[in-house]
A and B are shown apart, each in its own frame.
Chain A
Protein backbone atom coordinates (compact mmCIF):
# COMPACT_ATOMS: atom_id res chain seq x y z
CA UNK A 1 0.00 0.00 0.00
CA UNK A 2 1.44 3.30 -1.06
CA UNK A 3 0.16 6.48 0.49
CA UNK A 4 0.49 9.72 -1.42
CA UNK A 5 -0.29 13.14 0.03
CA UNK A 6 -0.26 16.15 -2.25
CA UNK A 7 -0.63 19.81 -1.27
CA UNK A 8 -2.80 19.00 1.74
CA UNK A 9 -4.29 21.96 3.61
CA UNK A 10 -6.79 21.89 6.42
CA UNK A 11 -8.39 24.58 8.55
CA UNK A 12 -10.69 24.51 11.58
CA UNK A 13 -12.97 27.39 10.63
CA UNK A 14 -10.61 30.15 9.69
CA UNK A 15 -7.69 28.78 11.66
CA UNK A 16 -5.31 26.96 9.32
CA UNK A 17 -3.93 23.78 10.87
CA UNK A 18 -2.20 22.09 7.95
CA UNK A 19 -0.52 24.04 5.18
CA UNK A 20 0.34 22.50 1.83
CA UNK A 21 1.74 19.23 3.06
CA UNK A 22 3.14 16.83 0.47
CA UNK A 23 4.92 13.54 1.00
CA UNK A 24 4.47 9.89 0.26
CA UNK A 25 4.78 6.75 2.30
CA UNK A 26 6.02 3.71 0.36
CA UNK A 27 4.66 0.26 1.10
CA UNK A 28 5.97 -1.27 4.29
CA UNK A 29 7.52 1.86 5.72
CA UNK A 30 7.58 2.78 9.41
CA UNK A 31 7.06 6.53 9.38
CA UNK A 32 7.13 8.72 12.46
CA UNK A 33 5.13 11.96 12.50
CA UNK A 34 6.77 14.40 14.86
CA UNK A 35 6.51 18.02 15.82
CA UNK A 36 5.69 20.22 18.79
CA UNK A 37 2.21 20.26 20.36
CA UNK A 38 -0.25 21.94 18.04
CA UNK A 39 1.85 21.41 14.93
CA UNK A 40 -0.94 19.44 13.26
CA UNK A 41 0.20 15.82 13.65
CA UNK A 42 -3.11 14.45 14.90
CA UNK A 43 -5.05 16.47 12.33
CA UNK A 44 -2.86 15.06 9.57
CA UNK A 45 -3.48 11.54 10.83
CA UNK A 46 -7.24 12.21 10.91
CA UNK A 47 -7.11 13.50 7.33
CA UNK A 48 -5.32 10.32 6.23
CA UNK A 49 -8.02 8.17 7.86
CA UNK A 50 -10.67 10.37 6.17
CA UNK A 51 -12.15 11.36 9.53
CA UNK A 52 -11.47 14.97 8.62
CA UNK A 53 -11.85 16.15 5.05
CA UNK A 54 -9.08 18.49 3.92
CA UNK A 55 -9.96 21.83 2.38
CA UNK A 56 -7.36 21.51 -0.35
CA UNK A 57 -5.01 18.91 -1.72
CA UNK A 58 -5.40 15.20 -2.21
CA UNK A 59 -4.63 11.93 -0.48
CA UNK A 60 -4.44 8.75 -2.49
CA UNK A 61 -3.84 5.10 -1.71
CA UNK A 62 -2.18 3.12 -4.49
CA UNK A 63 -2.96 5.97 -6.92
CA UNK A 64 -6.66 5.90 -6.02
CA UNK A 65 -8.09 9.02 -4.33
CA UNK A 66 -9.20 8.54 -0.73
CA UNK A 67 -12.78 9.67 -1.35
CA UNK A 68 -13.29 6.92 -3.93
CA UNK A 69 -13.10 4.36 -1.09
CA UNK A 70 -16.27 3.23 0.67
CA UNK A 71 -16.20 3.49 4.49
CA UNK A 72 -15.87 -0.28 4.72
CA UNK A 73 -13.09 -0.46 2.10
CA UNK A 74 -11.28 2.25 4.01
CA UNK A 75 -11.79 0.38 7.28
CA UNK A 76 -10.09 -2.64 5.70
CA UNK A 77 -7.18 -0.45 4.58
CA UNK A 78 -6.42 1.55 7.70
CA UNK A 79 -6.67 0.55 11.32
CA UNK A 80 -6.43 3.44 13.73
CA UNK A 81 -5.11 3.41 17.27
CA UNK A 82 -6.29 6.70 18.79
CA UNK A 83 -4.64 8.51 21.64
CA UNK A 84 -7.03 7.25 24.27
CA UNK A 85 -9.68 4.58 24.20
CA UNK A 86 -11.30 4.93 27.57
CA UNK A 87 -14.86 3.66 27.91
CA UNK A 88 -17.31 3.73 30.79
CA UNK A 89 -18.88 0.49 29.64
CA UNK A 90 -17.93 -2.98 30.75
CA UNK A 91 -16.62 -4.52 27.57
CA UNK A 92 -14.36 -7.51 27.92
CA UNK A 93 -11.04 -7.36 26.09
CA UNK A 94 -12.43 -9.99 23.74
CA UNK A 95 -15.43 -7.77 22.94
CA UNK A 96 -13.10 -4.90 22.10
CA UNK A 97 -10.90 -6.95 19.79
CA UNK A 98 -13.98 -8.45 18.13
CA UNK A 99 -15.01 -4.92 17.16
CA UNK A 100 -12.09 -4.96 14.75
CA UNK A 101 -14.12 -7.48 12.74
CA UNK A 102 -16.98 -5.06 12.06
CA UNK A 103 -15.62 -4.06 8.62
CA UNK A 104 -15.49 -7.76 7.69
CA UNK A 105 -19.04 -8.73 8.62
CA UNK A 106 -21.01 -10.14 5.72
CA UNK A 107 -24.24 -8.37 6.66
CA UNK A 108 -25.76 -6.55 9.59
CA UNK A 109 -27.64 -9.67 10.64
CA UNK A 110 -24.81 -12.16 10.31
CA UNK A 111 -23.27 -13.53 13.44
CA UNK A 112 -19.65 -14.12 14.32
CA UNK A 113 -17.97 -16.27 11.68
CA UNK A 114 -15.17 -18.79 12.10
CA UNK A 115 -12.83 -16.35 10.32
CA UNK A 116 -13.73 -13.71 12.92
CA UNK A 117 -12.93 -15.90 15.92
CA UNK A 118 -9.69 -17.07 14.33
CA UNK A 119 -8.59 -13.51 13.50
CA UNK A 120 -9.43 -12.30 17.01
CA UNK A 121 -7.59 -15.14 18.70
CA UNK A 122 -4.53 -14.67 16.49
CA UNK A 123 -4.48 -10.92 17.08
CA UNK A 124 -4.76 -11.40 20.83
CA UNK A 125 -2.03 -14.02 20.91
CA UNK A 126 0.33 -11.82 18.92
CA UNK A 127 -0.19 -8.94 21.31
CA UNK A 128 0.02 -11.23 24.33
CA UNK A 129 -3.49 -10.29 25.44
CA UNK A 130 -5.29 -13.62 25.02
CA UNK A 131 -4.82 -14.49 28.67
CA UNK A 132 -7.07 -11.63 29.74
CA UNK A 133 -9.62 -12.03 26.96
CA UNK A 134 -12.43 -12.33 29.51
CA UNK A 135 -11.30 -9.50 31.75
CA UNK A 136 -13.03 -6.13 31.69
CA UNK A 137 -11.18 -3.69 29.46
CA UNK A 138 -11.58 -0.90 32.00
CA UNK A 139 -9.77 -2.94 34.66
CA UNK A 140 -6.58 -3.43 32.62
CA UNK A 141 -3.42 -1.40 33.08
CA UNK A 142 -2.50 1.29 30.56
CA UNK A 143 -0.05 -0.92 28.71
CA UNK A 144 -2.41 -3.90 28.62
CA UNK A 145 -5.20 -1.68 27.36
CA UNK A 146 -3.03 -0.29 24.59
CA UNK A 147 -2.10 -3.83 23.57
CA UNK A 148 -5.80 -4.76 23.42
CA UNK A 149 -6.46 -1.74 21.20
CA UNK A 150 -3.59 -2.76 18.94
CA UNK A 151 -5.01 -6.30 18.88
CA UNK A 152 -8.29 -4.78 17.73
CA UNK A 153 -6.41 -2.97 14.97
CA UNK A 154 -4.67 -6.22 13.93
CA UNK A 155 -7.97 -8.11 13.91
CA UNK A 156 -9.12 -5.52 11.39
CA UNK A 157 -6.47 -6.97 9.03
CA UNK A 158 -5.44 -3.60 7.66
CA UNK A 159 -2.79 -2.72 5.14
CA UNK A 160 -1.61 0.16 7.29
CA UNK A 161 -1.69 1.11 10.96
CA UNK A 162 -2.22 4.73 11.94
CA UNK A 163 -1.30 5.43 15.52
CA UNK A 164 -1.65 8.61 17.56
CA UNK A 165 0.98 8.59 20.28
CA UNK A 166 0.67 4.88 21.04
CA UNK A 167 3.08 5.03 23.97
CA UNK A 168 2.00 8.26 25.59
CA UNK A 169 0.66 6.96 28.90
CA UNK A 170 3.05 4.05 29.25
CA UNK A 171 6.07 3.49 31.43
CA UNK A 172 9.39 2.67 29.81
CA UNK A 173 8.84 -1.09 29.62
CA UNK A 174 5.39 -0.55 28.12
CA UNK A 175 6.82 1.84 25.55
CA UNK A 176 9.46 -0.60 24.39
CA UNK A 177 6.95 -3.44 24.38
CA UNK A 178 4.53 -1.53 22.14
CA UNK A 179 7.22 -0.22 19.80
CA UNK A 180 8.79 -3.67 19.41
CA UNK A 181 5.37 -5.08 18.62
CA UNK A 182 4.76 -2.43 15.97
CA UNK A 183 8.19 -3.02 14.45
CA UNK A 184 7.45 -6.73 14.29
CA UNK A 185 4.10 -6.18 12.57
CA UNK A 186 5.82 -3.80 10.20
CA UNK A 187 8.66 -6.16 9.35
CA UNK A 188 6.96 -9.56 9.43
CA UNK A 189 3.55 -8.70 8.03
CA UNK A 190 4.51 -5.81 5.79
CA UNK A 191 2.00 -3.52 7.50
CA UNK A 192 2.81 0.10 6.79
CA UNK A 193 2.99 2.09 10.03
CA UNK A 194 2.39 5.80 10.38
CA UNK A 195 2.70 6.86 14.01
CA UNK A 196 2.53 10.20 15.74
CA UNK A 197 5.32 10.05 18.28
CA UNK A 198 6.48 12.50 20.90
CA UNK A 199 9.52 10.69 22.18
CA UNK A 200 12.35 11.64 19.85
CA UNK A 201 14.55 8.78 20.98
CA UNK A 202 11.90 6.11 20.46
CA UNK A 203 11.18 7.59 17.03
CA UNK A 204 14.85 7.66 16.09
CA UNK A 205 15.24 4.06 17.12
CA UNK A 206 12.18 2.55 15.45
CA UNK A 207 11.23 4.70 12.46
CA UNK A 208 12.54 4.23 8.94
CA UNK A 209 11.85 7.86 8.27
CA UNK A 210 10.60 10.82 10.25
CA UNK A 211 8.37 13.63 9.05
CA UNK A 212 8.83 16.73 11.15
CA UNK A 213 5.91 19.14 11.30
CA UNK A 214 6.09 22.67 12.53
CA UNK A 215 3.14 25.06 12.70
CA UNK A 216 1.16 23.04 10.15
CA UNK A 217 3.96 22.77 7.63
CA UNK A 218 6.11 19.82 6.75
CA UNK A 219 9.50 21.06 7.89
CA UNK A 220 11.45 18.09 6.62
CA UNK A 221 11.15 14.35 6.02
CA UNK A 222 13.94 11.83 5.89
CA UNK A 223 16.10 9.38 7.80
CA UNK A 224 16.13 9.96 11.57
CA UNK A 225 19.80 10.94 11.53
CA UNK A 226 19.15 13.52 8.81
CA UNK A 227 16.02 14.97 10.39
CA UNK A 228 16.91 14.96 14.07
CA UNK A 229 19.88 17.29 13.96
CA UNK A 230 20.51 19.76 16.80
CA UNK A 231 19.89 22.62 14.36
CA UNK A 232 16.52 21.23 13.18
CA UNK A 233 15.37 20.46 16.72
CA UNK A 234 16.45 23.91 17.84
CA UNK A 235 14.49 25.53 15.03
CA UNK A 236 11.32 23.40 15.41
CA UNK A 237 11.13 22.79 19.17
CA UNK A 238 13.29 25.70 20.30
CA UNK A 239 15.30 23.37 22.52
CA UNK A 240 19.03 23.02 22.72
CA UNK A 241 19.99 19.36 22.37
CA UNK A 242 22.99 17.15 21.96
CA UNK A 243 22.66 14.29 19.48
CA UNK A 244 24.62 11.10 20.08
CA UNK A 245 24.69 7.60 18.71
CA UNK A 246 23.49 4.71 20.87
CA UNK A 247 26.45 2.33 21.14
CA UNK A 248 24.15 -0.73 21.19
CA UNK A 249 21.56 0.00 18.52
CA UNK A 250 23.56 2.40 16.39
CA UNK A 251 20.53 4.67 16.23
CA UNK A 252 20.84 8.27 17.27
CA UNK A 253 19.52 9.64 20.52
CA UNK A 254 18.92 13.12 21.66
CA UNK A 255 19.59 14.73 25.02
CA UNK A 256 17.82 17.95 25.77
CA UNK A 257 19.44 20.70 27.79
CA UNK A 258 17.46 23.13 29.84
CA UNK A 259 16.85 26.29 27.90
CA UNK A 260 19.14 28.96 29.40
CA UNK A 261 18.12 32.55 29.67
CA UNK A 262 20.50 34.83 27.82
CA UNK A 263 23.40 35.55 30.16
CA UNK A 264 25.85 38.36 30.17
CA UNK A 265 28.85 36.98 28.34
CA UNK A 266 31.57 38.61 30.38
CA UNK A 267 34.10 36.36 28.71
CA UNK A 268 36.26 35.62 31.73
CA UNK A 269 38.51 32.81 30.58
CA UNK A 270 38.46 29.55 32.51
CA UNK A 271 40.34 26.44 31.46
CA UNK A 272 39.11 23.01 32.45
CA UNK A 273 41.40 20.02 32.83
CA UNK A 274 39.17 17.04 32.33
CA UNK A 275 38.53 13.65 30.74
CA UNK A 276 36.34 10.58 31.02
CA UNK A 277 33.16 12.62 30.71
CA UNK A 278 33.74 14.37 34.05
CA UNK A 279 34.18 17.78 32.43
CA UNK A 280 30.75 18.00 30.75
CA UNK A 281 28.71 19.35 33.69
CA UNK A 282 31.47 21.82 34.54
CA UNK A 283 31.71 23.09 30.96
CA UNK A 284 27.92 23.47 30.80
CA UNK A 285 27.67 25.27 34.15
CA UNK A 286 30.48 27.70 33.44
CA UNK A 287 29.33 28.27 29.86
CA UNK A 288 25.82 29.08 31.12
CA UNK A 289 27.34 31.58 33.58
CA UNK A 290 28.91 33.51 30.73
CA UNK A 291 32.48 32.32 31.08
CA UNK A 292 34.70 31.74 28.07
CA UNK A 293 35.59 28.13 28.59
CA UNK A 294 38.45 26.12 27.14
CA UNK A 295 39.32 22.51 27.89
CA UNK A 296 42.13 20.03 27.59
CA UNK A 297 43.71 17.63 27.12
CA UNK A 298 41.16 14.96 26.20
CA UNK A 299 41.21 12.09 23.75
CA UNK A 300 39.04 12.15 20.67
CA UNK A 301 36.20 9.63 21.44
CA UNK A 302 36.18 10.72 25.07
CA UNK A 303 32.73 12.01 25.85
CA UNK A 304 34.31 15.19 27.20
CA UNK A 305 35.59 15.76 23.69
CA UNK A 306 32.00 15.48 22.35
CA UNK A 307 30.73 17.65 25.21
CA UNK A 308 33.20 20.38 24.27
CA UNK A 309 32.36 20.10 20.58
CA UNK A 310 28.63 20.33 21.33
CA UNK A 311 29.16 23.56 23.22
CA UNK A 312 31.67 24.90 20.70
CA UNK A 313 34.32 25.03 23.40
CA UNK A 314 37.94 25.13 22.19
CA UNK A 315 39.53 21.89 23.30
CA UNK A 316 43.00 20.43 23.11
CA UNK A 317 42.47 16.96 21.69
CA UNK A 318 44.77 13.99 21.68
CA UNK A 319 44.45 11.05 19.29
CA UNK A 320 42.24 8.21 20.55
CA UNK A 321 43.82 6.13 23.33
CA UNK A 322 47.16 7.93 22.96
CA UNK A 323 48.98 9.46 25.96
CA UNK A 324 49.21 13.25 26.01
CA UNK A 325 51.95 14.32 23.66
CA UNK A 326 54.46 17.03 24.54
CA UNK A 327 53.01 19.20 21.78
CA UNK A 328 49.47 19.03 23.21
CA UNK A 329 50.80 19.58 26.72
CA UNK A 330 52.38 22.84 25.52
CA UNK A 331 49.11 23.85 23.87
CA UNK A 332 47.29 23.07 27.11
CA UNK A 333 49.70 25.28 29.05
CA UNK A 334 49.19 28.07 26.51
CA UNK A 335 45.42 27.99 27.12
CA UNK A 336 46.03 27.95 30.88
CA UNK A 337 48.21 30.98 30.53
CA UNK A 338 45.38 32.84 28.79
CA UNK A 339 42.91 31.93 31.54
CA UNK A 340 42.09 33.57 34.85
CA UNK A 341 41.36 30.30 36.57
CA UNK A 342 41.88 26.59 36.04
CA UNK A 343 39.41 23.90 37.07
CA UNK A 344 40.46 20.30 37.60
CA UNK A 345 37.57 17.90 37.10
CA UNK A 346 37.57 14.59 38.99
CA UNK A 347 38.89 12.70 35.97
CA UNK A 348 40.42 9.25 36.28
CA UNK A 349 44.16 9.54 36.34
CA UNK A 350 46.22 7.09 34.32
CA UNK A 351 49.72 7.08 32.86
CA UNK A 352 48.38 8.74 29.70
CA UNK A 353 46.93 11.86 31.24
CA UNK A 354 49.11 12.47 34.28
CA UNK A 355 50.38 15.50 32.38
CA UNK A 356 47.01 17.18 33.00
CA UNK A 357 47.82 17.24 36.74
CA UNK A 358 51.30 18.45 35.95
CA UNK A 359 49.64 21.26 33.98
CA UNK A 360 47.58 22.14 37.07
CA UNK A 361 50.75 22.41 39.08
CA UNK A 362 52.25 24.70 36.46
CA UNK A 363 49.11 26.83 36.62
CA UNK A 364 49.64 27.36 40.35
CA UNK A 365 53.22 28.38 39.77
CA UNK A 366 51.97 30.82 37.10
CA UNK A 367 49.79 32.39 39.82
CA UNK A 368 46.49 31.13 38.40
CA UNK A 369 43.57 30.33 40.65
CA UNK A 370 43.24 26.52 40.66
CA UNK A 371 40.07 24.77 41.77
CA UNK A 372 39.76 21.05 42.27
CA UNK A 373 36.33 19.50 41.97
CA UNK A 374 36.31 16.61 44.44
CA UNK A 375 32.85 15.13 45.05
CA UNK A 376 32.65 13.45 48.44
CA UNK A 377 31.28 10.28 46.98
CA UNK A 378 33.80 9.93 44.21
CA UNK A 379 35.21 6.50 43.56
CA UNK A 380 38.87 5.75 43.41
CA UNK A 381 40.10 7.43 40.27
CA UNK A 382 43.77 6.82 40.67
CA UNK A 383 45.13 4.23 38.28
CA UNK A 384 48.79 5.10 38.75
CA UNK A 385 49.48 3.63 42.18
CA UNK A 386 48.86 6.73 44.25
CA UNK A 387 50.73 9.08 41.98
CA UNK A 388 47.53 10.89 41.13
CA UNK A 389 46.48 11.26 44.77
CA UNK A 390 49.94 12.52 45.60
CA UNK A 391 49.58 15.16 42.92
CA UNK A 392 46.21 16.24 44.32
CA UNK A 393 47.59 16.53 47.87
CA UNK A 394 50.51 18.48 46.54
CA UNK A 395 48.17 20.83 44.63
CA UNK A 396 46.08 21.50 47.71
CA UNK A 397 49.10 22.17 49.88
CA UNK A 398 50.40 24.53 47.20
CA UNK A 399 47.27 26.67 47.38
CA UNK A 400 44.64 25.02 45.17
CA UNK A 401 41.08 25.06 46.54
CA UNK A 402 38.94 21.95 46.63
CA UNK A 403 35.18 22.24 46.02
CA UNK A 404 32.63 19.46 46.35
CA UNK A 405 30.22 20.29 43.56
CA UNK A 406 29.78 22.22 40.36
CA UNK A 407 27.44 24.62 42.18
CA UNK A 408 30.08 25.31 44.79
CA UNK A 409 32.58 25.79 42.01
CA UNK A 410 30.38 28.38 40.32
CA UNK A 411 29.87 30.40 43.50
CA UNK A 412 33.55 30.17 44.36
CA UNK A 413 34.54 31.42 40.91
CA UNK A 414 32.02 34.24 40.81
CA UNK A 415 33.18 35.38 44.26
CA UNK A 416 36.85 35.35 43.51
CA UNK A 417 37.46 35.27 39.81
CA UNK A 418 34.27 36.79 38.39
Chain B
Protein backbone atom coordinates (compact mmCIF):
# COMPACT_ATOMS: atom_id res chain seq x y z
CA UNK B 1 0.00 0.00 0.00
CA UNK B 2 1.50 3.30 -0.98
CA UNK B 3 1.55 6.52 1.00
CA UNK B 4 -1.50 8.10 -0.66
CA UNK B 5 -3.65 5.06 -0.09
CA UNK B 6 -2.58 4.96 3.55
CA UNK B 7 -3.41 8.62 3.90
CA UNK B 8 -6.88 8.15 2.39
CA UNK B 9 -7.52 5.11 4.57
CA UNK B 10 -6.51 7.15 7.61
CA UNK B 11 -8.99 9.88 6.75
CA UNK B 12 -11.75 7.33 6.16
CA UNK B 13 -11.07 5.72 9.52
CA UNK B 14 -11.16 9.04 11.36
CA UNK B 15 -14.42 9.87 9.61
CA UNK B 16 -15.81 6.54 10.76
CA UNK B 17 -14.66 7.22 14.32
CA UNK B 18 -16.44 10.58 14.34
CA UNK B 19 -19.55 9.04 12.79
CA UNK B 20 -19.65 6.37 15.50
CA UNK B 21 -18.95 8.94 18.19
CA UNK B 22 -21.65 11.38 17.14
CA UNK B 23 -24.31 8.75 16.50
CA UNK B 24 -23.36 7.17 19.82
CA UNK B 25 -24.06 10.48 21.51
CA UNK B 26 -27.48 10.62 19.89
CA UNK B 27 -28.26 7.01 20.84
CA UNK B 28 -27.34 7.60 24.48
CA UNK B 29 -29.46 10.76 24.64
CA UNK B 30 -32.37 9.06 22.92
CA UNK B 31 -32.24 6.22 25.43
CA UNK B 32 -32.06 8.56 28.37
CA UNK B 33 -34.95 10.73 27.23
CA UNK B 34 -37.33 8.28 25.54
CA UNK B 35 -39.62 7.52 28.50
CA UNK B 36 -39.68 11.09 29.69
CA UNK B 37 -40.62 12.35 26.23
CA UNK B 38 -43.39 9.76 25.83
CA UNK B 39 -44.76 10.79 29.22
CA UNK B 40 -44.58 14.49 28.29
CA UNK B 41 -46.37 13.90 25.01
CA UNK B 42 -49.07 11.92 26.76
CA UNK B 43 -49.52 14.74 29.22
CA UNK B 44 -49.63 17.34 26.45
CA UNK B 45 -52.29 15.34 24.60
CA UNK B 46 -54.29 14.96 27.79
CA UNK B 47 -54.05 18.72 28.38
CA UNK B 48 -55.32 19.33 24.86
CA UNK B 49 -58.26 16.98 25.43
CA UNK B 50 -59.01 18.55 28.78
CA UNK B 51 -59.33 21.93 27.12
CA UNK B 52 -62.31 20.52 25.23
CA UNK B 53 -63.88 18.47 27.98
CA UNK B 54 -63.04 18.96 31.64
CA UNK B 55 -61.39 16.10 33.50
CA UNK B 56 -64.30 15.59 35.92
CA UNK B 57 -66.79 14.94 33.11
CA UNK B 58 -65.28 11.49 32.44
CA UNK B 59 -63.49 8.83 34.41
CA UNK B 60 -62.13 6.39 31.86
CA UNK B 61 -58.56 6.26 30.61
CA UNK B 62 -59.31 8.42 27.61
CA UNK B 63 -55.90 8.05 25.99
CA UNK B 64 -56.36 4.26 25.79
CA UNK B 65 -60.05 4.25 24.93
CA UNK B 66 -59.57 5.08 21.27
CA UNK B 67 -60.47 3.85 17.82
CA UNK B 68 -58.87 4.56 14.49
CA UNK B 69 -61.06 5.88 11.72
CA UNK B 70 -60.12 5.64 8.09
CA UNK B 71 -59.56 8.72 5.94
CA UNK B 72 -62.99 10.25 5.58
CA UNK B 73 -64.42 12.60 2.97
CA UNK B 74 -66.78 14.36 5.32
CA UNK B 75 -63.97 15.07 7.76
CA UNK B 76 -61.58 15.82 4.88
CA UNK B 77 -58.96 13.62 6.50
CA UNK B 78 -56.41 11.97 4.25
CA UNK B 79 -54.79 9.76 6.88
CA UNK B 80 -56.31 7.50 9.53
CA UNK B 81 -57.14 9.53 12.62
CA UNK B 82 -57.71 8.65 16.26
CA UNK B 83 -60.99 9.17 18.09
CA UNK B 84 -60.75 9.53 21.88
CA UNK B 85 -63.86 8.42 23.73
CA UNK B 86 -64.79 9.99 27.06
CA UNK B 87 -66.99 7.79 29.27
CA UNK B 88 -68.33 8.18 32.76
CA UNK B 89 -69.03 4.93 34.57
CA UNK B 90 -68.93 3.09 31.21
CA UNK B 91 -71.54 5.44 29.71
CA UNK B 92 -70.39 7.39 26.62
CA UNK B 93 -70.01 11.08 27.34
CA UNK B 94 -68.24 12.61 24.38
CA UNK B 95 -66.03 11.84 21.41
CA UNK B 96 -62.96 13.84 20.53
CA UNK B 97 -61.74 13.62 16.97
CA UNK B 98 -59.91 15.44 14.21
CA UNK B 99 -61.52 17.32 11.38
CA UNK B 100 -59.74 19.17 8.60
CA UNK B 101 -60.82 22.38 6.91
CA UNK B 102 -59.32 21.80 3.47
CA UNK B 103 -60.06 25.31 2.18
CA UNK B 104 -58.16 27.63 4.50
CA UNK B 105 -56.49 30.69 3.00
CA UNK B 106 -53.11 28.95 3.11
CA UNK B 107 -54.01 25.29 2.87
CA UNK B 108 -55.40 22.90 5.41
CA UNK B 109 -56.49 23.82 8.91
CA UNK B 110 -56.51 20.92 11.33
CA UNK B 111 -59.04 21.05 14.17
CA UNK B 112 -59.70 18.92 17.22
CA UNK B 113 -63.39 18.85 18.11
CA UNK B 114 -65.15 17.39 21.11
CA UNK B 115 -68.82 16.47 20.71
CA UNK B 116 -71.09 15.41 23.59
CA UNK B 117 -73.54 12.52 23.25
CA UNK B 118 -76.31 15.09 22.85
CA UNK B 119 -74.69 16.38 19.67
CA UNK B 120 -73.58 19.57 21.40
CA UNK B 121 -70.05 20.82 20.89
CA UNK B 122 -67.83 20.49 23.94
CA UNK B 123 -65.23 22.63 22.26
CA UNK B 124 -63.01 23.18 19.27
CA UNK B 125 -59.27 23.86 19.08
CA UNK B 126 -57.03 24.53 16.10
CA UNK B 127 -54.15 22.06 16.07
CA UNK B 128 -52.25 23.32 13.06
CA UNK B 129 -52.71 25.98 10.41
CA UNK B 130 -50.71 28.21 8.12
CA UNK B 131 -53.05 31.19 8.08
CA UNK B 132 -51.73 34.72 7.72
CA UNK B 133 -50.24 36.05 10.96
CA UNK B 134 -52.26 38.94 12.32
CA UNK B 135 -55.30 38.19 10.17
CA UNK B 136 -56.44 34.59 9.82
CA UNK B 137 -54.48 33.26 12.77
CA UNK B 138 -57.10 34.60 15.19
CA UNK B 139 -58.67 31.15 14.93
CA UNK B 140 -55.85 29.98 17.21
CA UNK B 141 -56.97 30.06 20.85
CA UNK B 142 -53.57 31.44 21.84
CA UNK B 143 -54.22 34.56 19.77
CA UNK B 144 -57.92 35.25 20.31
CA UNK B 145 -60.98 33.59 21.90
CA UNK B 146 -62.93 33.45 18.68
CA UNK B 147 -62.80 29.65 18.63
CA UNK B 148 -64.30 29.31 22.11
CA UNK B 149 -67.70 30.65 20.98
CA UNK B 150 -68.51 27.24 19.48
CA UNK B 151 -68.69 25.45 22.83
CA UNK B 152 -72.28 24.57 23.60
CA UNK B 153 -73.50 24.95 20.02
CA UNK B 154 -74.99 22.16 17.89
CA UNK B 155 -76.44 21.46 14.48
CA UNK B 156 -79.72 23.16 15.39
CA UNK B 157 -78.28 25.76 17.68
CA UNK B 158 -78.05 28.13 15.90
CA UNK B 159 -80.33 27.32 12.96
CA UNK B 160 -78.52 25.61 10.08
CA UNK B 161 -78.84 28.80 8.01
CA UNK B 162 -77.00 30.71 10.72
CA UNK B 163 -73.97 28.40 10.57
CA UNK B 164 -71.91 30.88 8.54
CA UNK B 165 -69.95 34.08 8.90
CA UNK B 166 -71.96 37.31 9.08
CA UNK B 167 -70.86 38.26 5.60
CA UNK B 168 -72.65 35.14 4.31
CA UNK B 169 -75.74 35.86 6.40
CA UNK B 170 -74.78 33.74 9.39
CA UNK B 171 -74.17 34.63 12.99
CA UNK B 172 -70.40 34.24 13.38
CA UNK B 173 -67.95 37.13 13.20
CA UNK B 174 -65.40 37.13 10.45
CA UNK B 175 -62.07 38.90 11.04
CA UNK B 176 -61.11 42.24 9.60
CA UNK B 177 -59.35 41.39 6.37
CA UNK B 178 -59.93 37.65 6.67
CA UNK B 179 -63.19 35.97 5.78
CA UNK B 180 -61.91 32.85 4.07
CA UNK B 181 -60.28 31.44 7.20
CA UNK B 182 -63.31 31.61 9.57
CA UNK B 183 -65.60 30.48 6.76
CA UNK B 184 -63.47 27.35 6.29
CA UNK B 185 -63.36 26.66 10.03
CA UNK B 186 -67.13 27.05 10.47
CA UNK B 187 -67.78 24.70 7.55
CA UNK B 188 -65.40 22.11 9.01
CA UNK B 189 -67.05 22.27 12.43
CA UNK B 190 -70.46 21.81 10.82
CA UNK B 191 -69.12 18.83 8.88
CA UNK B 192 -67.79 17.34 12.09
CA UNK B 193 -71.22 17.69 13.73
CA UNK B 194 -72.91 15.99 10.76
CA UNK B 195 -70.36 13.21 10.86
CA UNK B 196 -70.95 12.71 14.55
CA UNK B 197 -74.71 12.59 14.10
CA UNK B 198 -74.44 9.93 11.40
CA UNK B 199 -71.79 7.79 13.09
CA UNK B 200 -72.54 8.32 16.74
CA UNK B 201 -73.23 4.70 17.67
CA UNK B 202 -70.30 3.37 15.66
CA UNK B 203 -67.92 5.83 17.25
CA UNK B 204 -68.43 4.27 20.67
CA UNK B 205 -68.18 0.65 19.52
CA UNK B 206 -65.44 -1.71 20.58
CA UNK B 207 -61.97 -1.25 19.15
CA UNK B 208 -62.28 -3.67 16.25
CA UNK B 209 -65.58 -2.40 14.88
CA UNK B 210 -64.46 1.00 13.73
CA UNK B 211 -66.73 2.80 11.29
CA UNK B 212 -65.34 3.69 7.93
Answer yes or no: are A and B bound together in one complex.
Answer: no
What is A's interface to B at a CB cutoff of 8 Å? none
